[in-house]
Structure 1
Amino acid sequence: NQWPFTFDVQASQKPTVVKTVSLGARPTAVKATVSERFASRAWIATQDGTLHIYSLDGFAPGDGWNMTANPPASNIAEVGTVTGIGRNPTSLATSKGEPTNTTFDASNQQVIVASRGDNKINWVRFASNGNSGSIVRTIQHSEMKDLIAVEDSDNFSNEGYVLSALDYTGKAVRNYRYGQVTFHDGGLCPWPTGCAINAINGAAAEYGGAMALPGKPFQMNSANVP
């Protein structure tokens, strides 16, 4: 009766392994699309700095909830790669907004990569068919000692575009603002222009400071509602 329970408590909920794939380098992080409006994809980062793109046709909500009862395992297939995302990418984060295009569905067409080997954060944007992509934004900061994970902030009626990054050996959470702050109810930073980032020497983001931690962080989650 100890939580978390094993699947023996409710065997019907135990996931079924339908396919196993071999990769040329060690997998280090995974993420997937989150809504039904686009073809479902899984993204697998490998230690050599490659992001592998896999189709999930029929296995997850996508293409207007185009799911089937028993999709063939062959539907899970590699459809493309993105190289140069950085050595030892230890974290993939859902992109929760894009300041350069507020109508862009960032959570399904973009992913944020933390490269521990290069101590660098990259935004990877995917093509409309989801089968290829390229790096569109990079943050690299001298105060970041050991980048290990990233998490994007929520952007709903008001936008802030703040990315939080974990510094493992530096024992800190560091924040970076990569887009304008916009308050849609008027006042300071009104829509549509908002308040731009105060970046130095044309940098992609503004450093928002750090919160020191007693230990070495390795994983985080953030939301507008605790």
Structure 2
Amino acid sequence: MGTLTAQNRASTSFKLGFVPTGISVTGGGEFALVSGWDTTNTKGQVAVVSLGAAPQGWQPGQARYDWWHGWMDMMHPGFVDQGNYVFMKVIGYVDLPSDMKAPTGIAATTGIHPYTTLLKYDSSGTINSFIMLDSPMANNRSKMLPGGEDYERYPKGGVVVVVSKSEKKAAFIDLAPLFAYTNGMYLGSAASNLETQNVGLAASQWPYLLADHPEAMPQVVKSLTLTKRPTAVWTTATRSYWSKDDQTRISAYPFWTTNAHYARAGIATEGGDLLLYSLGRYAAGTKPTTPAPTDIQQVGAVTGLGDNITYLAAAKDYPGQEDALNDLVLFTDRTNRKWGWVKLVSTSDTATTGSILRTMEDSRVDPIMVTMADNYSTTGNVLSVADYAGGGIANYRFGDVIYPDAGSGFCTVPGACPTLTSIGEFTGKLPLPFKPISVHSSNVP
């Protein structure tokens, strides 16, 4: 619903007996990771779905055009693109540990901020993207190889966090083998790149099935038993907006700390605890890493979120917060009909703590999940809440509206157009012909 600029459609089918329970997409739109129950073999798995994008309205056989600076030559499933999907292919299933047969939630991160992945200035000084400027890929592979100007613009690995509520388990999956293989096929040689140009759903077509290339299979590197049942999972988008390697930007020379500052994961448990984990070198970012299972450690916790935390989500922006994507976590407390933000604070290079920054509540809704609309051009500060019992999507403003056109004289500065009350503003509800269990909002593409 909305003023959509990304309306392409794509779909896929899972194997018989696979019941999907959650989904997470890597930051550059390369892969969808789907947790599920293999009811035929009574085991938990994560399906790996390779994604391919195209300009709006594109059909096979047609020439591609400049649609938000995506790839101009062809789709490249499993490589960064703008995300208007026309192609999905299930390339394999990752087995979870034998004591984790019923996964219920999943989140993934590559350790790269999406702006790092896409935004690049062209020769005229205009904002463009490296994927358009490097089209066709086959002729520009050198730019994306080590030493090339665009080598640090696409992921070299990542980590998937999967939880099982009934089994009180969490598992961490290393995506580095998958990215290393996929990147190598596209960029390793002219011959391997030529193979990737034969895209299709057959096993002999790109992207290839993981069963035929076991070196590409993501690996479970750690599993944990939790003391309480996990109800939701979240990961940071990146180490920080200005991340470089695995360090943190500082104001004094040499401008980067010498100590690692790694991506985090958060697991909510029954009773309102938020357990915080360092993902170490597994959220590889733009350069290959050599992680070890000991990298993944609990580094803190936040308590008192509520009685029934049903979802954790990215806080895309918040007034006065410099890095909301990594420092804030949105949560829903279904029992108390409220939602809010947790503010995370790194107390050292290894420890993280936090507290509840703010909550909102509405006794009229049954909140299952909350998401935030992007503050891209116009700052709207709008949340959308899936109201299960009420059968709709309820919307709320939590901050000022700010329009980008300073010449209009209308809502152009903070404080000019605040919410109607200090605790927020109900902005209407979209009724649905069903009871929603999930909602997501995005500036598209």
Cα-to-partner distance string for 1:170-196 (whole Å, 9 max, x where unaligned):
111000100000012122201344411
For 1:195 and 1:128, locate their aligned partners in 2 and report how far apart those are by CA, in whole Å. 33
In the alignment, structure 1 residue 114 sits paired with structure 2 residue 332: yes
Instruction: Answer yes or no: is the 8 Å Cα contact 1:58–1:66 preserved in 2.
Output: no
Query: Partner letter of residue 13 of structure 2?
Result: W
Q: Which residue among 3, 18, 28 is the counterpart of 2:13?
A: 3
SS in 2 for 1:108: helix
Structure 2 unaligned residues grouped into runs of 5+: 1-11, 15-89, 94-208, 241-260
| Other structure's SS at 2:299 match | strand
CA deviation string 1:16-57 (max 9, x = no partner): 110001111111110100024263000000111100000011
Where does the alignment leave 5 or more consecutive residues of structure 1 unmatched?
none
Q: 1:208 to 1:61 in 2, by over 3 A?
A: farther
* Aligned position for 2:413: 191
Q: Is the 8 A contact 2:337 2:363 kept in 1?
A: no
Q: SS in structure 2 opposite 1:21?
A: strand
**Local SS of the residue matching 1:191:** coil
Match of 2:234 among 20, 31, 52: 31
Instruction: Give 1:3's aligned amino acid.
Output: S
Structure whose residues are more often helix by fraction:
2
**Residues 399, 424 of structure 2: 8 Å contact kept:** yes
State which drifts further: 186-195 or 116-125: 186-195
Alignment correspondent of 2:385: 165
Tell me the secondary structure at the aligned position of residue 197 of structure 1.
Answer: coil
Separation of aligned partners in 2, 1:192 and 1:116: 32
SS in 1 for 2:220: coil
What secondary structure, in the 3-state scheme, does the structure 2 residue paired with 1:121 have? strand
Query: Would you say the 8 A contact 1:58–1:67 is kept in 2?
Result: no
CA deviation string 1:71-101 (max 9, x = no partner): 11111111111001111211111001112x1
Distance 2:287 2:270 in 1: 33
How far, CA to CA, are the matches of 1:222 and 1:75 in structure 2? 33
Native 8 Å contact 2:234 2:312 kept in 1: yes
Contact preservation (8 Å) 2:386, 2:392: yes
Q: Give the equivalent residue in structure 2 for 1:218.
A: 437
The CA distance in 1 between the partners of 2:283 and 2:220, in whole Å, is 14
Note the C-alpha offset of 1:106. 0.2
CA contact (8 A) 2:262 2:281 kept: no
CA distance in 1 between counterparts of 2:315 and 2:288 reads: 24
- The structure that has the greater radius of gyration is 2
Distance in 2 separating the partners of 1:208 and 1:42: 32
Moved more, 153-162 or 172-181: 153-162
Q: 1:76 aligns with which of 283, 296, 302?
A: 296
Displacement of 1:127 = 0.6
Show the counterpart of 1:58: 281
CA distance in structure 2 between the aligned counterparts of 1:213 and 1:31, rounded to whole angstroms: 27
Deviations 1:111-149 (A, max 9, x none): 1000112221021001145610000110111211x2110
Indicate if the aligned counterparts of 1:36 and 1:61 stay in contact, CA closer than 8 A: no
Same amino acid, percent of matched pairs: 40
Distance 1:152 1:61 in 2: 26
Q: Which has the higher contact order (CA 8 A, sep 6+)?
A: 1
Question: Partner of 1:7: helix, strand, or coil?
Answer: strand
In structure 1, distance between residues paired with 2:217 and 2:307: 34
1:92-103 to 2 correspondences below 5 Å: 92-99=312-319, 101=320
Structure 2 match to 1:140: 361
CA contact (8 A) 1:166 1:174 kept: yes
Structure 2 letter corresponding to 1:91: Y
Q: How far apart are 1:216 and its partner, in Å?
A: 0.8
Query: Match of 2:272?
Result: 49
2:54 match: none
Give how far 1:205 is off.
Answer: 1.1
Runs of 4+ in 1 over 6 A off after TM superposition: none
Question: Is contact 2:234-2:267 (8 Å) kept?
Answer: yes
